[in-house]
């Protein structure tokens, strides 16, 4: 259940019998012809669909992450690493005060790597709590299905092209040579834009919606399993 559909008394009632909650985090950054909010859209939708049958509260997505490499693309918003960690720490502290002790962070942005270290530090200071960080697209069965579905699943190509991340202006099809990601990661932001051009890392732009739905359903199942296992 979305927190947006609850009041504080409903939360208090929930935590009397269950201490699980879901916190999606994403990013606002360029995704070539896809929505700038792609990572946030996917993280929140994944969280809601995974948690809904279990009635576990899902908090609003944190829409900003660390994405300095895309700073030269208009519309991209980046937090400094220390800012992301400070925000996450404050949110986790608040969830604990509300009675939540088991928190699943569903991450939609690969650049939010600092969350792994932050959550370990937070659990060191809060040994009665448990936090799991889950990058939904990296779940084993989901990753295997994506690899079997199409080549080179990566940033802003077919692997993020869902009906709910497309825009009316998103190209219907296309293909692009893959960039050298290792070299790209060694460049400052304004050189990154020159290398990427449209923003995609390359590969096919789109796969069949039925294929994408199958990948999505697998990811929802693996995300829900983490909540059920608790």
**Structural domain includes residue 132:** yes
Residue reference for tokens 């996917």: 42
Q: In a 3-state reduction of DSSP, which class is residue 223?
A: helix
Task: Please give the tally of structural domains in the chain.
Answer: 1
- Rounded to 5 degrees, what are φ and ψ at 74? -55, 140
Tokens representing 114?
Answer: 């600092």
pLDDT at residue 174 in the model = 93
Range of the domain at 45: 3-225
CATH number, domain containing residue 131:
3.40.50.10310
Q: Residue 230 falls within a domain, yes or no?
A: no
With CA atoms as reference, report the closest residue to 135 among 76, 222, 74, 209. Answer: 222
Residue 157 lies in a domain: yes
| 150 contacts 158 by C-beta, under 8 angstroms | yes
Q: Would 171 be classed as within a structural domain?
A: yes
Residues of the chain with pLDDT below 70 are none
**Is 172 domain-assigned?**
yes
């Amino acid at each position: 259940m979305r927190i947006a559909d609850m009041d504080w008394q409903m939360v208090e009632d929930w935590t009397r019998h269950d201490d699980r909650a879901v916190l999606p985090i994403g990013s606002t950054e360029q995704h070539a012809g896809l929505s700038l909010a792609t990572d946030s859209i996917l993280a929140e939708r994944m969280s809601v669909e995974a948690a809904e049958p279990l009635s576990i509260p899902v908090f609003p997505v944190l829409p900003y992450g660390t994405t300095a490499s895309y700073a030269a693309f208009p519309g991209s918003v980046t937090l400094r690493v220390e800012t992301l960690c400070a925000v996450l720490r404050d949110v986790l502290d608040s969830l604990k005060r509300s009675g939540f002790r088991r928190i699943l962070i569903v991450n939609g942005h690969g650049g939010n790597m600092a969350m792994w270290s932050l959550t370990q530090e937070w659990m060191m200071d809060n040994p009665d709590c448990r936090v799991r960080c889950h990058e939904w697209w990296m779940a084993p069965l989901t990753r295997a299905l994506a690899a079997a579905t199409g080549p080179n699943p990566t940033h802003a190509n077919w692997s993020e092209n869902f009906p709910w991340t497309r825009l009316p202006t998103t190209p219907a099809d296309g293909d692009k040579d893959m960039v050298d990601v290792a070299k790209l990661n060694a460049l400052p932001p304004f050189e990154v834009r020159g290398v990427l051009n449209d923003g995609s890392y390359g590969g096919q732009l789109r796969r069949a919606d039925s294929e994408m739905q199958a990948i999505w359903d697998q990811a929802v199942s693996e995300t829900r399993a983490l909540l059920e296992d608790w």
